[in-house]
Structures are given as C-alpha cells and as structure tokens.
Structure 1
Amino acid sequence: MRLVQVLIPEGTRDSVLAALDEQGIDYAVFEEVGRGDFEAMVQFPVPPSGVETVLERLTAAGVRDDAYTIVLPTETVVSERLSALVERFPGLRISREELYARAQDLAPANSTFFAFLILSTIIATTGLLLDSAATIIGAMVVAPLMGPAISASVGTVLDEPKMASRGVKLQVTGLLAAIATAAIMGWLMQQTILIAPGLDIRTIPQVAERTGPNFLSLFLALGSGLAGSISIMRGSGSTLVGVAIAVALVPPAATSGLGIAFGLPGVAVAAAILVLVNLLAINLSALILFYLSGFKPLEAGTFEGVRASVFSRVVVIAVAIAVLSIVLGGVTWTTFQTQSFEQQTEAELREVFDEADVGGVELVSVGVDYEPVDILLGNEPQVDVLVGIPRDLEAPPDLAQRFDDDLTERLGRDVVVRVGFIETQVSEREDPTPPFGGQAPASGEPTSRDYARGAPT
C-alpha cells in the first residue's frame, strides 16, 4: 500500500477532489498554509498498482508537474475499506513514477560506482587465482552492476535519454575498468612470490569455466536480467538479486584481464566474448520485460517515439547476440563432440584391451586429451593408456600400435596412442600373521600390491 500526498494548485481543488471521487478514493484534505501557489493538500491511500492511474487523473484535473506529489510506502494500513481498493486496482507492479525514482537510486555516483566495482574485481580476481567459488560469490555482493543495467532499460522505456545513456556508459566503462584492474593485478602478482612461476591459469577450474562460453551462459544472463527487473517493478528489490547480474559479468571480466596479464590472448578473448554476450542479454531481457509490463513515458504524447526506440534497440541487441551466439554455438558443439569422443574412445579401448588378451598385463587407466580447440585446428586426439605389467614379463613392443590400429578402425578417424607401463608385484597374502600356526613370510618378501617405477614406451 502507498500513501500519496498532493499539493493542490490554486483554483483546481474542486476538479482534483472530483477526480478522486470518480476513482472511489478515500481522502483527507488539509488547508495549505505555506506558499500561496497551493490552496490545500490532499492525502489518500492507494495500492501500488493504482498510483499511476490516479496520478494520471490528477494531472488531467490540473495538478501540474511543478506541483509537489509525494508517494510514501506504508508499513501497515488498518481498514475494512482496503479490500475494495485492492479490487479496484489489481496488479503487483509499481507506478512509473516510483520506477523512475528507484532507477535513479540504483545508479550510484560515479566515484561510488567505480570504487565498489574495482574492489569487487580485486576480490573476484583473488578468488579466481585461489580457485575459490565462495570468494567469487562474496565479491559479487559488492559489485554495483545491477543499477546501471536497470537504469539503462528504464530510461529507454520512460523516454529519459540521460538516464539511459548514463546506464549504458557505466556498464561499458565499468567492465572495461574491471578488465584493466584484473590485468594490472595479475601482472603485479606475477612479480611476487604469491604466484608460482610458470603458473598456467588455464588449469584453474574457476578460470577454465569462464574461457569456454556456451549457450548455458546465455540463459544465466537472461535469467539475471529478468530477476533484476521483476524485483524492481514489483517493489521487492534486494541486493541479493544484483548478485546474479554481477556473477554473469565480473568474474569473466576478471578472467579476461588475467588472460592479458599472463599473455594468453585466447583466454582474454574468450572471456571478453562471454562478458559482452552476458551484458547484451541482461539489457535485452530487462528492456523487453519493462516494455511488456506497460510502463510508458512520464510525459504524455511520446509513447509512439518510445515504441520505435525500444523496437530498434531490441533489434540491434538481438542481432548482436545472434552474431555472438555463433561463437557460443561453436563452443557448445565442439565441447559436446570432444566429450562424446572421450567417452566413446575410453569404452572402445577397454573393449580392445579385453579382446587383445595380453597375458599378465593389467589395464590401469585410460585418458583422452582432446580439447575443443583441437577440432578447430584439426589436431588428432591423443589417447594415454597406463598398464601394469609384472617385473618378470617383458613389455609388448607393439601394444601402442595395436591399440592405434584398432581404435582408428572402430572410431573412423586417426588417433595418437601412448602406452605407459608400470611394474607391479602382487603378494599371495596381505596378512603377515599366518593362519592356523603357519610361518610368517620371510624378511624382504612382498606383503602387499606394489607399484614400482614407470617406463613409458
């Protein structure tokens, strides 16, 4: 419920009160004793979804834009008349005036925005290098990216070009600042003992997660934008909702900066593409939802122009996402192909090993080294096989080639097979205490499975 207070301009008292009577609004009128421009103040309760309709009627009745209209949230209203008001104004969304005010409050001052964003990036970069998901999530609580994303869409729908422009600028410059911050931090940390020499950040799971973007990342961004928009227009905004938006933007931006710092252009470009796709998807989902919810410009007569502006922006963003989705689709397809190939190869090799019937040789493990980039570069998959062989048995000299020939025939493509051997010793018993009074093993006899030195061929 909202409590609305309106200062009635001179000469419009009767028309304003008549408009409230037409809407069935209960009100209280107070004589105005301040400036002479107003003759009274009227105060009335109304559900959030009815504020916009009532204010439109009051504007038509003579309440000008230069008058004072205050909309206050109320904690509790006790009245049997509330049910009639709720029935008259069903719905959950807030008024466009309240939406505009919320969007202004969400976009902080530039100094505050960049201070929090840089601190969030520093924490997120640390979390990436530590491979700590908890640290990364903690950094998202600090990131102030929800405000600019929402204000850009609200400014477009309400025909407030300054608000929309500032929201877009803050998002773009903020993410560029995040990438630069992570790059500088990564370079500085390489000059210290905090990072091991020769560290390959591509082997860190939290970093690798942001360097292989696919369509699932797009769903994350779309969902984040919708969640942020719903929380604002229904008056239930929470900083926790902003965490979802920040998760889609800050960690990949930090990953891109680390790619620059460590001289890995592939990491930098892949993470930057993920940032751009997520940014576009968040803005697209928020813009469409606000428009479909029926929000119109604060000034009457500009709705047609806003409709054309919203349509053109939606088309541009959708086309950009479609183009970038080619990259996402390629990554998704190649990832699926490599994972399917790895599973098939492992199953086929185990079957080949069983059919080979190599006496005394035990299959220990199978690994397939095949990445999405190998598909693009045309590199052959590499299959690593580790087998155990007794000390007194000579390693089969042609085992790798036999595996290679069989896999090539079964898979229909060339592969590279490497076989590594480890010497094994297996005792007859593991318990040194003999049963039924027997003698214990002599000193030096093996009493457990022993894996000795390896010798790849």
Structure 2
Amino acid sequence: MLHLRLITPTDRTDAVIRLIEETVGTAHLAVMPGAARSPAGDIVMVDVAREAGDELIGGLRGLGIDTSGSIAVENIDLSLSTRADRAEDDAPGEGADAVLWEHLAEATHEESTLSVTYLAFLTLATMIAACGVVLDNAILIVGAMAVGPEFGPLAGFSTAVVRWRPRLAVRSLTALLVGFAVAMAVTVLFSLFMDALGLFTEERLEGERPNTAFVYAPDAFSFVVAVLAGIAGTLSLTSAKSGLLVGVAISVTTVPAAANAAVALSYGDTGQTIGSTNQLLLNLLGITLAGILTLLTQKWLWRRAR
C-alpha cells in the first residue's frame, strides 16, 4: 500500500475526493478542511494499493495538485486493515508488477545528478578498482563494483528514453560521461603517485592476472552479463527492491574496466587501455539497452493486465 498526503486548494478538494472515491483500490480517506497553511488549503490523506497508485497520481496531476498544492507519497510497510486488504484485492494487477512512473522519474532524477558526492563515490570506486587490478585482487574488484554509483545515471537515461524526458536524458548522460572522465583522470594521477611510492609497477600490470584479466578482454559474455544485470537492476528499481542493486553492481565490470584503462594509460599500455575502454563501453551499452527494453516491456504488460 501507498500513503498519499495531499494539500489541495479549497476549490479543488471536492474534485480530488471524487477522483479518489472513483479510483478502485483506495482506502482510509481523511479530509482536514483548512488545515494547510503553506500553501493554504485542505489536507487530504488516503491509502491506495500500489497497483492503483500510478493512475491516481496521474489523475491528481491532471487536476493540477502538483502545481497548486502538494502530492507526497510514502510506502506503507505494514497495514493491518480489512479495508486495505479489500482495496488491494479490488485493484487490477499485482502490486509487485506495478510501476510508479512518477516515483521512478523522481528517483532516477536524483541519482543522475552530477554532484560532488556522486563524483567522490565514482572516483573512490575507480581508485579501489585500480588497486585491485594491479594486485590482481578479486575482493577489491568486487568492493569497487559495490561502491560505484554509475547505475543511477544509466537508469535515468533509460527512464528518460521511455518517458521521453530529454532534460533527464541529457542530465544522465552528463553525469555518466563527466563522472567517468573525472574518475579516470584522477585515477591516472593516483596510479602515477602509487608508482612513485613503489606500490604500483608496470610489471604487475603486465604480468599474469588470472583474477582480473577479464576487465580488458571483452567478449560476448560481457555483453550478455551486462544485459542481464540491466534487466535485474531496472526491475529492482521499479519494484522498490533497491537492496538488489548491490547484486547488480557487482555483476558488471564498468568501474574495474575504467580503472584498468586509467592505470594502463599511466604506463602507456595502449592495448590494455583500448581493451578496457571497449569493455566499459560494452557494459554501458548492454545495461542501457536492457533498461530501455525492460521498461517498455513492463509498460506494455501493465497496460494489458489493466
């Protein structure tokens, strides 16, 4: 179930109440006339089954509540109510399959922001991965994958394409491209610094690396895994199971490939630099295509289910 808290202009409250009452899957409607002060108006609260949430939110936006008032949405972790159970039974479809498009667009918008924090996480992840590739340490590679925040912009771009949001698409691409460019540039300097300290050596990079050589040797499996990870990541976002994103993050080699390219570049190894860059681009392409196709499929299936 979802809990909606609305601030509605007084002259639109009746229309909002009619919309809520006509929406199948709603329960626990409460109205507090004149309770809102900024903006002034009435407060309307209602619970709605997740599978009916997108329709109701769309109707509220059609009434202009998002511009003249406020729409706040929260997930309800526990609801002990026979009425709520009946509302979920009445609503068409399954809650686990429902996509809250407005929530998805808002979440990916935030994750696609080119902020100092985003750059810091991506840069730190790339530097950790650089240590992993030089030491041929799979544990460091996995840790770097988990730290990397690059799935946010990838999901944002996929959502922007499906929802036709050009500004979100540009924002996501900017965060992705600038983020990796900054992270790789800093990692080149980090590699040179570590080499000066004697902690990184070209012999280690060029030597046998059975645990990490895959990051500069892309093949068909690289693309297949990226596609599967993109599907899983998109499903985890649309079903609000964000905890699964950690598993998605450690299944693709975006950050390790970027790190290997940076370290190889610092030593002038053109072969590994090109191979790692190809691995990076192949993974980004696979995740993006999978995200777009997954969202389109979900949209089509949900329309058929309703």
Between 61-70 and 205-214, the greater mean CA deviation after superposition: 61-70
Instruction: Tell me the equivalent position of 2:110.
Output: 105
SS in 2 for 1:230: helix
Q: Residue 45 of structure 2: which of 43, 46, 69 is its match?
A: 43
What secondary structure, in the 3-state scheme, does the structure 2 residue paired with 1:278 have?
helix
Change (3 A) 1:232 1:118: same
The answer for the alignment partner of 1:130 in structure 2 is 135
Deviations 1:311-368 (A, max 9, x none): xxxxxxxxxxxxxxxxxxxxxxxxxxxxxxxxxxxxxxxxxxxxxxxxxxxxxxxxxx
Q: How far apart, CA to CA, are the structure 2 residues paired with 1:192 and 1:39?
A: 65
**Equivalent residues of 1:2, 1:71 under 8 A apart:** yes
How far apart are the structure 1 equivalents of 2:13 and 2:31?
10
250, 254, 264: which one pairs with 1:244? 250
1: distance between equivalents of 2:5 and 2:157? Answer: 29
User: How far 1:200 moved relative to its partner?
Assistant: 5.2
What is the aligned partner in structure 2 of residue 9 from structure 1? 9
Please state if 1:33 is matched with 2:32: no
SS at match of 1:33: strand
Distance 2:36 2:102 in 1: 25
2-structure distance, mates of 1:201, 1:181: 21
Quote how far apart the aligned CAs of 1:163 are.
Answer: 1.9
State whether residues 156 and 172 of structure 2, in contact with CA within 8 Å, keep that contact through their aligned partners in structure 1.
Answer: yes
- Write the distance in 1 (CA, Å) between the matches of 2:144 and 2:155: 20
With normalisation by structure 2, the TM-score equals: 0.86
Deviation of 1:198 after TM superposition, in Å, equals 4.3
Alpha-carbon distance between aligned partners in 2 of 1:22 and 1:198, rounded to the nearest angstrom: 71
For 2:59, which of 57, 61, 74 is the aligned residue? 57
Instruction: Please point out which of 198, 210, 213 is paired with 1:208.
Output: 213
Cα distance, 1:132 vs structure 2: 0.8
Change (3 A) 1:146 1:64: closer
Q: Deviations over 1:83-104 (max 9, x none)?
A: 3211232222341121122213
Say which SS state the counterpart of residue 204 (structure 1) adopts: coil
Query: 1:65 corresponds to which letter in structure 2?
Result: T
Query: CA offset at residue 69 of structure 1?
Result: 1.0
Pick the aligned partner of 1:150 from 146, 150, 155. 155
Alpha-carbon distance between aligned partners in 2 of 1:280 and 1:200, rounded to the nearest angstrom? 27
**Which string of whole-angstrom CA distances, capped at 9 and with x for unpartnered residues, describes residues 430-457 of structure 1?**
xxxxxxxxxxxxxxxxxxxxxxxxxxxx
Aligned to 2:273: 268
**Which among 167, 170, 179 is matched to residue 184 of structure 2?**
179
Q: Secondary structure at the match of 1:41?
A: strand
Q: Secondary structure at the match of 2:68?
A: coil
Alpha-carbon shift at residue 269 of structure 1 (Å): 0.7
1:108 positional shift = 4.8
Contact 2:36 2:42 in 1 (8 A): no
Q: Matches of 2:101 and 2:169 in 1, distance apart?
A: 15
The CA distance in 2 between the partners of 1:292 and 1:280, in whole Å, is 18
Give the Cα separation in 2 of the matches to 1:63 and 1:194.
59
**Which of 221, 224, 232 is the aligned partner of 1:227?**
232
- Size of the alignment, in residue pairs? 294
Q: What's the CA shift for 1:167?
A: 0.9
Query: Which is greater in Rg?
Result: 1
SS at 2:45 equivalent: strand
Contact 2:129 2:256 in 1 (8 A): yes
Q: Secondary structure at the match of 1:12?
A: helix
Specify the alignment match of 2:88 in structure 1: 86
| Aligned with 2:290 (options 280, 285, 307) | 285
Alpha-carbon distance in 2 for matches of 1:87, 1:71: 21
Q: 1:20 & 1:50 partners in 2: Cα distance?
A: 11
Shift of 1:152: 1.6
Distance 2:72 2:112 in 1: 21
Q: Which has the higher helix share?
A: 2
- Cα distance between partner residues in 1 of 2:204 and 2:58: 63
Q: 1:174–1:202: structure 2 CA closer, same or farther, 3 Å change rule?
A: farther
- Show the 5 A alignment for 1:426-445: none
Report SS of the residue matched to 2:67.
coil
- From the superposition, tell whether residues 72 and 129 of structure 1 become closer, same or farther in structure 2 (CA, over 3 Å): same
**Counterparts of 1:16 and 1:169, CA distance in 2:** 38
Report the aligned-residue RMSD: 2.4
User: Counterparts of 1:382-421 in structure 2 under 5 Å?
Assistant: none
CA distance 1:184–1:67, change in 2 (3 Å) = same
Which letter does structure 1 place at the counterpart of 2:274? V
**Aligned partners of 1:200, 1:231: CA distance in 2, in Å?**
36
Cα offset, 1:150, TM superposition: 1.2
Conserved? CA contact 1:256–1:267, under 8 Å: yes
**AA aligned opposite 2:184:** I
CA contact (8 A) 2:134 2:204 kept: no
The CA deviation at 1:251 is: 0.6
Gaps of 5+ in 1: 296-457
Contact 1:99 1:232 in 2 (8 A): yes
Unaligned runs of 5+ residues in structure 2 are: 301-306
Closer/same/farther in 2, CA of residues 197 and 14 from structure 1, 3 Å limit: closer
TM-superposed CA distance for 1:59, in Å, is 4.2
- Greater RCO (Cα-Cα under 8 Å, separation 6 or more): 2
Aligned to 1:71, the other structure's residue is in SS state strand
Q: Distance in 1 between matches of 2:154 and 2:212?
A: 25
CA distance in 1, matches of 2:238, 2:183: 29
8 Å CA contact 2:148–2:249 kept in 1: the answer is yes
Indicate the residue corresponding to 2:304 in structure 1: none
